[in-house]
Structure 1
Amino acid sequence: MKKSSTILQLTPPQVLVLGFAAIIMIGTFLLSLPLASKDGLPTPFIDALFTATSATCVTGLVVVDTGTHFTMFGQIIIVILIQIGGLGFMSMSTLFALVLRKRITLRERLVLQEALNQGSMEGIVRLFRKVLVYSLIIEAIAAVLFTIRWSFDLDFQTALFFGIWHAISFFNNAGFDLFGSITGPFSSLTAYADDFMTNVIAMALIVLGGIGFVVLSDLLEYKNKKKLSLHSKVVLSMTAFLIIFGAIVIFIFEYTNTKTLGSINFGGKVLASFFQSVSPRTAGANSLDIGGLRQATQFFIIILMFIGASPGSTGGGIKTTTFTVLVGAMLAMIRGKEDIVFFRFRLAKDRIFKAITLTMLALFLVILVAMLLSTTESAPFLTILFEVTSAFGTVGLSMGLTPELTMIGKILISITMFAGRLGPITLAYALQPKKEKELYKYPEGKITIG
């Protein structure tokens, strides 16, 4: 009875943290089995833990190549972890409850609200049903299209497995791929850098998975409602801006680089630039050699990865809405305005404080882990910063450091992926002691800023 009451006292953020940790440990156990590796030997615990964390947190950073190291059993375990991690473990438990026709309790609705990053509990189960249906339909269509395209290069059975597997991986912004078994370890989609169909399907999956389920629902219901919410307008406009601006920057910086765009025709250059701009939305697949990019491009991608996807999506980062609020606050201050206004709507002060808090927590985490890794790993600082930001943003892009990480490095990156998937604020709420009401307020003081 005492144990049951202890569980009931857990806050929604604490339930999320413990739930994700439990999924990761189960995945670690299954991936460490000899059955999961092609050499028939148990995968070292730290490598299995890193892979399970990366899959559950839909990151895509890997210490062993997924296509060449793991058997079909191991690859299926990884893609299941990706699906659970992308939709959220609470979403999966809600699915089982709905299938068994069980009543969704108030507590479960609260946790589901936290998992889907919603401000209200109203209509949360209905939203979840939409999330599930949209996800399965989008993944199914993409799987069919991928299978058709890759059946020209692979036998049908392999093309079908690859199609389903990569549709799930890309829609959930995981960045895992199996092409190491075809084009060499850690090669990702580099062999398809100028392939139109593969790039367009992958980019569509990444964007649809990254804009968030609320925005998807808004778009699909636009025909009836004839309007979009403020949230959807902000997400769509900032996502479009970051993708287009990112593609232009990458195209300009890499145009003459023979290691990346230099050896591709003009159409291929445009396609690869857009793909590499979309991927830092937290997808992690790459059609260009990340290590071969110029330093300016690598640093620019770090910024894109830090911003990440949108709230209520399968992606990480500080989120596009947070970045928009920060930019809005800066412009309002420069113009001498008191309010931040988007699309004729004024933002509440608590939204601004939350955006600043989230960004500062994220910066502290990235800087701290980068400093620690600088002492444990023998790699240039930009490479380390790229890896840490990729882990925090649950992106999965790498300049080649991940397979070379020391044990301490793997643990630090695993913690960063975990924090990035749950979000710094959720993690902080989960770890903080129970709130106590303040009985008094201190007098207001003034300090000079700037």
Structure 2
Amino acid sequence: MNIQEFIKKQPPGRLITMGFALVILIGTLLLLLPFSIKSGVTVTPLNALFTATSAVCVTGLVVVDTADTFTAFGQTVIGILIQIGGLGVASAGLGLMIAAGKKVSIKSRVLAKEALNVDSYKGIVRMVEAVLLITLVVETAGALLSFPVFLKDYSPLHALGISIFHSVASFNNAGFDILGNMTNLIPYRDNVALNLITSVLVIVGGIGFPVILDLGRQRNFRRLTLHTKVVLVTTGILLAGGTLLLKLTEPISWMAAFFHSMSARTAGFSTCSLGSFSNGGLFVICILMFIGASSGSTGGGVKTSTMFVLLQSVRSEFSKRPVGAFRRSIPKENVSRASMIVICSALMVCVGTFLMCVAEPELTFMQLFFETVSAFSTAGLSTGITPGLGIAARWILIFFMFTGRLGAMTMITIWVSRQPKNARYTEESVTIG
């Protein structure tokens, strides 16, 4: 069996998984090249793999500082990996095929549909074209707007490079920075302009391309799709609620509280040292990281629409009304899938936290729990323990960053292929509660 026949027989989820793994492998090899690493600095294969995985999975967790370790070439490689990871391997590949003028096969359309998490193949090529155009416009605007901020502290060429990298990392909810000294955005904690620019880039990238396209077509809120309404309302509630809770639990400004409420939704940027946060503040951020961004976006987590549907199903049980919102009912399949995603994700986080506790017994439970949730939700926030983790803990985080980017259910089901049974057993109730 040749490679083409093997690929044709693989289900979309498995191909996407293999595609992500291949990009990570290529990224790791590129980051190990001598001209990717600064003179006098040593990068082990494991650290290169960790960095490449974090970039492709748009996480932002780092074991070595990006600016102090990698050259301009290495930083460019990381930026490209972030871009591919944010768009999705299938979407990026389909975009290249479109740009080259090649015919898009049915298999490529199927992969793009799975990568963008949309329900129909109809107009998938036009949608990918629109996604690429949106990405180019938003990231260019972000780079131009942030350039004057960095120009105050760096030379024009250096400021331009930082602006482009920061815009790409922000829109793709990656959380990488190239400012050096593991400072993240702490030096700009009081810079209103950069805080607002970063927040807008992250939020636009996090609400998802289907929502952006729907907002472009419809100006009236009532005419928006149910998915768009759910995403916008849930995003607003999480931003406001997270800001309020962080302000109540931590002695920080309202701007810092809003920024971390926004960033916790898988962006990974920080303007404060999270290591000084209380357990209450860290727990609030963990909840926001676990929920994450929205379906079809550059962010991770279980997604805003998933939590919305799950909470609506709980409300339905108490009110004895059908599951729905905005005068629309939600299919039972959506409710079942939402429940499975949250349950599988919660189990993965529990397993990951346990493994981290075994690998790093000297660290506190909250630190390890926070790190695991951050990796699985591809948030990239850290209390500062990532660079000091041992080999075993780094491998654990690599696995959970990869799993979180693809989704818990995808990782669990891609290797299972069973035909449904025709026989049905007699029903018998089980006492619940």
Which category describes the TM-score, using the shorter chain as reference length?
A: over 0.9
Deviation at 1:369, TM superposition (A): 1.0
The counterpart of 2:343, out of the listed 350, 356, 360, is 360
Give the Cα–Cα distance (whole angstroms) in 2 for the partners of residues 278 and 3 of structure 1.
Answer: 43
Counterpart for residue 145 of structure 1: 145
Query: Taking every aligned residue pair, what percent have the same amino acid on both sides?
Result: 39
Give the Cα–Cα distance (whole angstroms) in 2 for the partners of residues 240 and 41 of structure 1.
Answer: 44
Deviation at 1:111, TM superposition (A): 0.7
Structure 1 counterpart SS, 2:427: coil
Counterpart for residue 345 of structure 1: 328
What is the TM-score normalised by the length of structure 2? Answer: 0.97
Deviations 1:90-135 (A, max 9, x none): 1121122112211111111111101001111111111111110001
Give the Cα–Cα distance (whole angstroms) in 2 for the partners of residues 379 and 223 of structure 1.
Answer: 51
1:439 aligns with 2:403: no
Give the Cα–Cα distance (whole angstroms) in 2 for the partners of residues 345 and 225 of structure 1.
Answer: 14
Counterpart for residue 411 of structure 2: 427
Counterpart for residue 47 of structure 1: 47
Deviations 1:224-267 (A, max 9, x none): 99721000000000000000110011111113xxxxx2xxxxxx
Deviations 1:272-330 (A, max 9, x none): 11101000110000011110111100011001000000000000100001111111111
Give the Cα–Cα distance (whole angstroms) in 1 for the partners of residues 40 and 28 of structure 2.
Answer: 16
* Structure 1: gaps (5+ residues): 256-260, 262-268
Deviation at 1:40, TM superposition (A): 4.7
Counterpart for residue 28 of structure 1: 28
Counterpart for residue 191 of structure 2: 195
Deviations 1:64-114 (A, max 9, x none): 011111111110100000000000111121122112211111111111101
The counterpart of 1:283, out of the listed 239, 250, 267, is 267
Counterpart for residue 326 of structure 1: 310
1:93 aligns with 2:93: yes
Counterpart for residue 160 of structure 2: 160
Counterpart for residue 58 of structure 2: 58
Task: Look up the equivalent residue of 1:376 and give its one-letter code.
Answer: A
Counterpart for residue 109 of structure 2: 109
Counterpart for residue 123 of structure 2: 123
Runs of 4 or more, structure 1, over 4 Å off, are: none
* Structure 2: gaps (5+ residues): none
Structure 2 counterpart SS, 1:431: coil
Aligned pairs for 1:388-427 (under 5 A) are: 388-427=372-411
Task: Look up the equivalent residue of 2:419 and give its one-letter code.
Answer: E
Deviations 1:344-383 (A, max 9, x none): 1111111011001111110111100110110111210100
Count of aligned positions = 432
Counterpart for residue 221 of structure 1: 217
Does the aligned pair in 2 maintain the 1:307–1:320 contact within 8 Å? yes
Deviation at 1:34, TM superposition (A): 2.1
Deviation at 1:435, TM superposition (A): 2.7
Give the Cα–Cα distance (whole angstroms) in 2 for the partners of residues 130 and 429 of structure 1.
Answer: 30
Deviation at 1:331, TM superposition (A): 1.1
The counterpart of 2:284, out of the listed 283, 300, 314, is 300
Give the Cα–Cα distance (whole angstroms) in 2 for the partners of residues 164 and 415 of structure 1.
Answer: 29
What is the TM-score normalised by the length of structure 1? Answer: 0.94
Deviation at 1:437, TM superposition (A): 3.2
Give the Cα–Cα distance (whole angstroms) in 2 for the partners of residues 75 and 214 of structure 1.
Answer: 30
Let me know the Cα RMSD of the aligned residues: 1.3
Give the Cα–Cα distance (whole angstroms) in 2 for the partners of residues 158 and 3 of structure 1.
Answer: 44
Give the Cα–Cα distance (whole angstroms) in 2 for the partners of residues 187 and 278 of structure 1.
Answer: 19
Aligned pairs for 1:164-175 (under 5 A) are: 164-175=164-175
Deviations 1:166-198 (A, max 9, x none): 000000000000112xxxx21111111121100
Seen in structure 2, the aligned counterparts of structure 1 residues 224 and 366 have a Cα distance that, compared at 3 Å, is: closer
Structure 2 counterpart SS, 1:297: helix
Structure 2 counterpart SS, 1:50: helix
Does the aligned pair in 1 maintain the 2:41–2:69 contact within 8 Å? no
1:236 aligns with 2:232: yes
Task: Look up the equivalent residue of 1:102 and give its one-letter code.
Answer: K
Give the Cα–Cα distance (whole angstroms) in 2 for the partners of residues 52 and 162 of structure 1.
Answer: 19
Structure 2 counterpart SS, 1:281: coil
Deviations 1:133-178 (A, max 9, x none): 0011000001001102221222211111111110000000000001
Structure 1 counterpart SS, 2:281: helix
Deviation at 1:387, TM superposition (A): 0.3
